[in-house]
């Protein structure tokens, strides 16, 4: 071997190893350097196993820029292996980077959302599913659990043992037992899902002129490609879904991929039905109810470009679409798009970022848009597509206020006489009604008549809510629950505990008493878990088995019941208490949406709002149908005060188990706050839940002019303080409550 290395350079026996940066799904600020062993085939986006400390962990090759000033060659550890899944696409990697930069969360923490569960990613090549043995063995012992499993196994598609158990609501032992007894036949299938391509040319309803114009404009934008944001603003029933389906059809026709976000995917049963009617097949789905197997196979199908259209909850934004042709965010104003845990982000805003990265159009649809989106229209950053009227003969419902001071309900009752009359009339005509109360359980407070003790959550600054059907008290913030005590936990008096205030269960009791003929169903997130439960509920209402729905906000969204002509809002003041600056906007949106459930073609609807403040601006605006007036007044107020969307806002949340440490850190933060023009720091103050899950909390707000980069100001500020390890400091850019 000859060498022409000059004597001044150290002699190296091996050429320097190729280096890559690997981002790990951990709250770390940057990617780490690793060496690529000779012959290993990795590139940007590859899923790789690497050593970290004493363990092996799956991360993603972020880029392979050599970084010679990084870790010295001698300390560089090698990549241990490559996980055989498609690489994370460029667009997804850039999304992680930009989302981390915007939210100030560590990129690794954002990446974790994009990786699903790295362990689960490793595809098996085959899986076992079961079909019902036909006929079943004669000597089989039938139990009702076995019957349910057997019935499910007769349906298509064949399911795995885990899915059969989950869907039939039985233990996996039951499924195994039935299989062992010969009632189920195992089948081996490749571990992959096939999604049918929807047919964009399926027959569809003829659109009105207004609908057609908007549909065409949006379809043109899809075909032309390029980033644009359209706010599709139209009253409930105006045909927004119908219209954005045309843009979806245009994308599918051109072979482009589509992502649709819905706020609460468990409630999407009716949406899926309409999709199937329009496109002849179902889209792929993504939400927390998917079984781990379906999750893994869906993730893989998206990564391999086999999914044309997917509908999902906010986490679907992190799916590895190699390219997207259209994003739709339905009910864009919905508060559940805001994720408040871990990486704090707003899925609507991140969807806009995702569309920008994919250079494709995005449609934000709502009957009651967020002030943010309206301000973006006003500033000409977003286009506006407006559908001012309900489709066809359908009229908007007539809304009136019931003044609870003038016509109060009887003692310990919550349905006032005018609402009771309306309910009786409606049910007598064979129509249906909805009683809306945004409170799960029986009563929000349990009080001791003897000593005045209020039963609180041990870990939160909140009362326990009585769930009488389940005989328990529950915390709605942390999930703590206990058996309803017989005596006061404070003074020990027996029989002294009383329920204060109404929840939907208590309203049910009242409705049973005053409307003996009604066929009532209570609907909350407790009762409607998952798309199957939702679909069954829809059936019970459409078939008339149920004619009075008592529900929380879960029934406010999206459902269309043709015979539902009366909506009674039991406590229209509920969302207005508390002094949150977004309370009016939120109440307006929620009540408009609930009201929108009443009335369809041929059946005029009416809405009664029970209130003790009939002069509240929001309620007046809803009763008078003065939507524009409400928005204008709200916008003026925000503009004058410099609140979002006319100024920028971030919350800094300090939390920890030791209240003293938390206070001290919050104080340090306030003292080291930036002193800049057009930036103000407010607080620290105790937020509404000053104790949550055993952690004390304090909050500061940073308020700045629109021209300021609050991310830069915040990073600077945070780098100046060093909180003790017992205290966590979280940043919430654009807080939803303020
Ligand atoms: P939105 O999403 O604005 O609430 P939808 O798209 O759900 O409105 O439409 C409301 C109802 O009106 C649906 O039942 C829908 O099928 C019907 N509809 C809307 N546009 C048309 C149309 N052009 N022809 C027939 N039915 C329509
Ligand atoms: Zn709690």
Residues 182 and 248 in one domain: no
Tell me the residue range of the domain where 172 lies.
Answer: 126-190
**Ligand positioned closest to the Cα atom of 211:** 1
Pairing of strands 481-483, 564-569: unpaired
10 vs 18, more confident:
18
Residues 614 and 524 in one domain: yes
Question: What is the pLDDT at residue 168?
Answer: 87
Neighbours of 98 (CB within 10 A): 17
- pLDDT tens digit sequence for 563-619: 999 999 999 999 888 778 899 999 999 999 999 888 876 788 999 999 999 999 999
Q: How far is the CA of 643 from the centre of ligand 2 (A)?
A: 31
In a domain? residue 568: yes
Residues 591 and 664 in one domain: no
Question: What is the pLDDT at residue 6?
Answer: 46
For residue 92, which of 307, 304, 261, 323 has the smallest C-alpha distance? 323
The atom of ligand 1 lying closest to the CA of 234 is 3
Overall number of domains in the chain:
5
In a domain? residue 467: no
Q: Is the CB of 234 under 6 A from ligand 1?
A: yes
CA dihedral sign of residues 143, 146, 148, 151: negative
Question: What is the pLDDT at residue 350?
Answer: 98
Share above pLDDT 90 across residues of the chain, in percent, rounded to a whole number: 72
Share above pLDDT 70 across residues of the chain, in percent, rounded to a whole number: 94
Neighbours of 76 (CB within 10 A): 16
In a domain? residue 111: yes
Contact 239, 207 (CB under 8 A): yes
In a domain? residue 106: yes
The domain spanning residue 586 has which CATH number?
Answer: 3.40.50.300
Q: Is the CB of 239 under 6 A from ligand 1?
A: yes
Choose the final residue of a domain: 96, 115, 134. 115
Question: What is the pLDDT at residue 15?
Answer: 66
Specify the 3-state DSSP secondary structure of 62.
Answer: strand
Residues 630 and 651 in one domain: no
The domain spanning residue 139 has which CATH number?
Answer: 1.10.10
Q: Which residues contact 585 (CB under 8 A, 6 or more apart)?
A: 370, 371, 634
- If you ran DSSP here, which 8-state letter would residue 655 be given? E
Residues 551 and 406 in one domain: yes
Is pLDDT at 368 greater than 60 in this prediction?
yes
How far apart are the C-alpha atoms of 678 and 684, rounded to whole Å? 19
Instruction: Name the band, by pLDDT with cuts 50, 70 and 90, for residue 390.
Output: confident
The token duo for 499 is 């329920």
Choose the final residue of a domain: 366, 387, 408. 387
Instruction: Name the band, by pLDDT with cuts 50, 70 and 90, for residue 12.
Output: low
Is pLDDT at 119 greater than 70 in this prediction?
no
Residues 592 and 530 in one domain: yes
pTM, to two decimals: 0.88
Torsions phi, psi for 97 (to 5 deg):
-60, -45
The token duo for 630 is 């409400």
Q: Is the CB of 215 under 6 A from ligand 1?
A: no
Is pLDDT at 529 greater than 80 in this prediction?
no
The domain spanning residue 711 has which CATH number?
Answer: 3.30.70.600
Residues 279 and 131 in one domain: no
Is pLDDT at 4 greater than 50 in this prediction?
no
**Ligand positioned closest to the Cα atom of 461:** 2
Question: What is the pLDDT at residue 3?
Answer: 44
Question: What is the pLDDT at residue 258?
Answer: 98
Q: Which helix (H) or strand (E) holds 414?
A: none
Residues 416 and 557 in one domain: yes
Average pLDDT for residues 619-626, to the nearest whole number?
A: 94
**Annotated binding-site residue numbers for Zn(2+):** 448, 451, 457, 460, 475, 478, 488, 491
In a domain? residue 496: no
In a domain? residue 471: no
Beta-strand ranges (E) seen in 204-261 are 228-234, 258-261
Residues 166 and 92 in one domain: no
162 vs 602, more confident:
162
Choose the final residue of a domain: 608, 636, 664. 636
In a domain? residue 392: no
Residues 521 and 414 in one domain: yes
Residues 529 and 569 in one domain: yes
Q: How far is the CA of 561 from the centre of ligand 1 (A)?
A: 13
Q: How far is the CA of 391 from the centre of ligand 1 (A)?
A: 6
**Ligand positioned closest to the Cα atom of 465:** 2
The atom of ligand 1 lying closest to the CA of 330 is 2
Q: Is the CB of 211 under 6 A from ligand 1?
A: yes
Q: How far is the CA of 653 from the centre of ligand 2 (A)?
A: 18
Residues 630 and 652 in one domain: no
Among protein residues, the one with the nearest Cα to ligand 1's atom 17 is 239
Specify the 3-state DSSP secondary structure of 381.
Answer: coil
Question: What is the pLDDT at residue 160?
Answer: 86
In a domain? residue 477: no
In this prediction the ipTM stands at: 0.96
Contact 59, 50 (CB under 8 A): yes
- pLDDT tens digit sequence for 240-276: 999 999 999 999 999 999 999 998 765 577 888 899 9
Residue to mutate (ligand 1; options 204, 212, 242, 363; most atoms within 8 A of CB)? 242
Q: How far is the CA of 454 from the centre of ligand 2 (A)?
A: 14
Q: How far is the CA of 211 from the centre of ligand 1 (A)?
A: 10
């Amino acid at each position: 071997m000859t060498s022409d290395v000059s004597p001044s350079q150290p002699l190296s026996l091996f050429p320097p190893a190729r280096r890559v940066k690997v981002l790990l799904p951990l709250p770390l600020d940057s990617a780490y350097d690793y060496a690529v062993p000779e012959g290993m085939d990795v590139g940007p986006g590859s899923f790789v196993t690497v050593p970290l400390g004493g363990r092996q962990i799956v991360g993603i090759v972020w880029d392979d820029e050599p970084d010679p000033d990084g870790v010295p060659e001698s300390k560089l550890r090698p990549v241990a292996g490559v996980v055989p899944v498609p690489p994370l696409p460029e667009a997804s990697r850039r999304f992680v980077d930009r989302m981390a930069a915007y939210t100030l969360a560590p990129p690794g923490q954002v990446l974790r959302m994009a990786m699903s569960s790295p362990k689960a990613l490793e595809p098996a090549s085959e899986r076992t599913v079961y079909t019902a043995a036909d006929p079943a063995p004669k000597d089989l012992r039938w139990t009702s659990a076995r019957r349910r499993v057997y019935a499910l196994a007769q349906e298509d598609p064949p399911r795995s043992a885990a899915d059969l158990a989950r869907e039939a609501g039985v233990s996996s032992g039951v499924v195994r037992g039935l299989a062992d007894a010969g009632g189920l036949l195992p089948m081996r299938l490749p571990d992959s899902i096939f999604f049918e391509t929807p047919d964009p040319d399926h027959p569809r309803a003829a659109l009105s002129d207004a609908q057609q114009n908007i549909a065409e404009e949006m379809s043109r934008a899809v075909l032309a490609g390029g980033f644009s944001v359209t706010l599709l603003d139209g009253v409930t029933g105006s045909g927004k879904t119908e219209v954005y389906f045309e843009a979806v059809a245009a994308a599918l026709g051109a072979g482009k991929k589509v992502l649709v976000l819905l706020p609460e995917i468990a409630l999407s049963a009716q949406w899926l039905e309409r999709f199937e009617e329009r496109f002849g097949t179902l889209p792929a789905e993504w939400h927390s109810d998917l079984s781990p197997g379906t999750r893994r196979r869906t993730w893989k199908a998206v990564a391999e470009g086999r999914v044309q259209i997917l509908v999902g909850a906010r986490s679907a934004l992190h799916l590895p679409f190699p390219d997207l042709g259209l994003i739709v965010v339905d009910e864009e104003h919905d508060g559940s798009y805001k994720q408040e845990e871990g990486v704090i982000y707003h899925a609507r805003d991140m969807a806009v970022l995702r569309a920008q990265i994919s250079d494709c159009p995005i449609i934000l649809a709502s009957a009651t848009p967020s002030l943010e989106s309206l301000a973006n229209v006003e500033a000409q950053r977003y286009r506006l597509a407006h559908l001012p009227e309900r489709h066809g003969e359908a009229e908007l419902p007539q809304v009136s206020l019931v003044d609870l001071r003038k016509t109060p309900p009887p003692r310990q009752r919550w349905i006032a006489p005018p609402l009771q009359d309306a309910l009786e009339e409606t049910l007598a005509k064979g129509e249906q009604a909805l009683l809306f109360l945004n409170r799960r359980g029986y009563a929000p407070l349990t009080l001791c008549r003897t000593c005045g003790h209020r039963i609180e959550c041990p870990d939160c600054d909140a009362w326990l809510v009585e769930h009488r059907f389940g005989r328990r008290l529950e915390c709605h913030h942390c999930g703590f629950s206990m058996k309803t005590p017989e005596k006061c936990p404070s003074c020990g008096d027996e029989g002294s505990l009383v329920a204060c205030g109404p929840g939907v269960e208590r309203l049910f009791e009242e409705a049973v008493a005053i409307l003996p003929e009604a066929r009532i169903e209570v609907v909350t997130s407790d009762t409607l878990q998952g798309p199957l439960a939702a679909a069954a509920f829809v059936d019970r209402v459409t078939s008339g088995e149920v004619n009075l729905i008592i529900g929380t906000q879960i029934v406010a969204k999206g459902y269309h019941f043709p015979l539902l002509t009366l909506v009674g809002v039991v406590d229209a003041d509920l969302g207005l208490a508390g002094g949150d600056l977004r309370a009016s906007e939120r109440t307006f949106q929620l009540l408009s949406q609930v009201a929108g459930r009443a009335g369809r073609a041929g059946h005029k609807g009416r809405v009664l709002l029970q209130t003790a403040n009939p002069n509240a601006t929001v309620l007046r605006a809803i009763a008078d149908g003065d939507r524009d007036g409400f928005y204008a007044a709200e916008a003026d107020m925000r503009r004058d005060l410099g609140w979002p969307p006319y100024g920028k806002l971030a919350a800094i949340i300090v939390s920890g188990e030791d209240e003293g440490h938390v206070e001290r850190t919050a104080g340090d933060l306030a003292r080291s706050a930036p002193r800049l023009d057009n930036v103000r720091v407010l607080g620290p103050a105790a937020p509404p839940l000053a104790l949550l899950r055993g952690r004390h909390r304090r909050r500061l707000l940073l308020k700045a002019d629109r021209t300021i980069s609050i991310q830069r100001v915040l990073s600077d500020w945070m780098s100046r303080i060093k909180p003790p390890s017992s205290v966590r400091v979280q940043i919430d850019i654009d807080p939803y409550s303020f």
